[in-house]
């Protein structure tokens, strides 16, 4: 009788251990969400319509890329239609772009922009060329 009850206890213990192992093995680790880069929604090629000092509209393309030197930095190629080989820098916080004072190809830039969250950026900036400050506005639409 003692022998049979020991076998029954061992079988019960084995069943309990096996059940626990199966339960633990079936638990998949929770997936942690991958953090997204806020700049992902804004990078791309835009058709830009620019007005300088209230004159006629000039249309050209700009390209926005992520900066690799900061988590909020953007690189804008061909800003002010100065050529794709020239890059203006900006930062983004929420949907506001800041273009801090900088010189690109002998042109001084300072200004800001607002991204609508999907496909448009409206810019307001000053471009100083040869000592003359030009007030500019532009609407860039993602292609």
Q: At residue 20, does pLDDT exceed 80?
A: no
Q: At residue 17, does pLDDT exceed 80?
A: no
HSE of 119, CA atoms in CB hemisphere, 13 A: 4
Write down the pLDDT at residue 38: 84
Strand residue runs (E) in 44-115: 44-52, 57-66, 73-77, 87-93, 96-104, 107-115
Q: At residue 29, does pLDDT exceed 60?
A: yes
Q: At residue 36, does pLDDT exceed 80?
A: yes
- pLDDT tier, 31 (very low <50, low <70, confident <90, very high otherwise): confident
Rounded to whole angstroms, how far apart are CA atoms 110 and 80?
Answer: 12
Q: Please tell me the total count of domains within the chain.
A: 1
Indicate whether 14 belongs to any domain: no
Task: List the CATH number of the domain containing 105.
Answer: 2.40.128.420
Q: 113 lies in which domain range?
A: 38-142
Indicate whether 109 belongs to any domain: yes
Indicate whether 114 belongs to any domain: yes
Indicate whether 112 belongs to any domain: yes
Indicate whether 57 belongs to any domain: yes
Indicate whether 2 belongs to any domain: no
Q: Is the sign of the CA dihedral 54, 44, 109, 92 positive or negative? A: positive
What's the average model confidence in pLDDT over 89-117? 97
Q: At residue 74, does pLDDT exceed 70?
A: yes
Indicate whether 78 belongs to any domain: yes
């Amino acid at each position: 009788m003692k022998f049979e009850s020991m076998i029954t206890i061992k079988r019960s213990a084995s069943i309990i251990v096996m059940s626990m192992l199966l339960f633990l093995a079936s638990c998949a680790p929770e997936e942690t969400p991958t953090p997204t880069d806020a700049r992902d929604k804004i990078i791309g090629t835009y058709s830009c319509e620019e007005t300088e000092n209230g004159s006629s509209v000039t249309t050209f393309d700009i390209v926005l890329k992520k900066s690799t030197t900061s988590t909020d930095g953007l690189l804008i190629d061909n800003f002010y239609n100065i050529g794709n080989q020239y890059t203006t820098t900006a930062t983004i916080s929420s949907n506001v772009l800041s273009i801090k004072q900088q010189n690109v190809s002998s042109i001084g830039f300072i200004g800001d922009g607002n991204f609508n969250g999907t496909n448009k950026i409206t810019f307001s900036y000053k471009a100083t060329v040869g000592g003359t400050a030009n007030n500019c506005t532009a609407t860039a639409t993602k292609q």
